[in-house]
Amino acid sequence: MIADIRTQNMIIVATIIVSMVAASSIIVNVNYYVGSYSLLNNLDIRLTSIILTDFDPTNTTINPSLCLIFNFKETGTEVGDVTLAYLTAVVSLNGATFDYVSFNKKITPETGQLSAQYNTNFTLGATLQDDLDKELLYLAQGTGNWTFEVELRVFYIMFKSRVQSVLILMFEYEGYVKG
């Protein structure tokens, strides 16, 4: 025990202040990490349209293009550190997959940094050059059935890590927009 009561009280007050600063620092860090996971959980991703251009069933030498447009919108108000890095999609039409074309997009860190106001569209497009892929369009034209199934893989980075995680989403879209 310290003989002088005033010195003892100053030590106790200093200890309480240091403890409060440390606790507030822990709370801020916890909110930051929890906010990062909340940003990801509150990210609303929608397939807004599928655009088909240069499609002419009477001329099979023309290579049509298929574009998928996705809207990424943050619905939460949290603060954290999540960056979208890469998008890739597997597209099927009426149950048959386009096998010889790839739909992917690399996202810059500036464009992919999530925040509470995040609202961005991303387009994944490809030109169908293989006859088997084009045949899927011709079959859909013949039947009048244009049911697209899209498996979207969203690769993202949390806390500036080197490790990427992946979020897999499934969409169904009827018809197409003529481009």
User: If residue 142 lies in a helix (H) or strand (E), which one and from where to where?
Assistant: helix 131-143
Give the span between the Cα atoms of 106 and 53, in whole angstroms.
23
What number of CA atoms fall less than 13 Å from residue 13's CA on the CB side? 6
Residues 6+ apart with CB under 8 A from 107: 84, 85, 86, 87, 122
pLDDT the model gives residue 34: 55
Query: pLDDT tens track of the chain, all 179 residues?
Result: 566 777 777 777 777 776 666 555 655 555 555 556 778 888 999 999 999 999 998 888 899 999 999 999 998 777 778 899 999 999 999 999 998 888 999 999 999 999 888 999 999 999 999 999 999 999 999 999 999 999 999 999 987 777 788 999 999 999 989 87
At 36 the three-state DSSP class reads helix
In angstroms, the CA 82 to CA 77 distance is: 14
In this predicted structure, what is the pLDDT of residue 35? 59
In the numeric block, the tokens 């609303």 are attached to 44
How is the chain split into domains, by residue range? 5-178
Closest among 43, 50, 67, 41 to 119, alpha carbons compared: 43
pLDDT score at 98: 92
State residue 100's pLDDT score. 84
How many Cβ atoms from other residues are within 10 Å of residue 168's Cβ? 9
Question: Of 169, 164, 150, whose CA–CA distance to 43 is shortest?
Answer: 169
pLDDT reported for residue 80: 78
Q: For the domain made up of 5-178, give the CATH fold.
A: Immunoglobulin-like (2.60.40)
Q: Is 88 within 8 Å of 98 (Cβ atoms)?
A: no
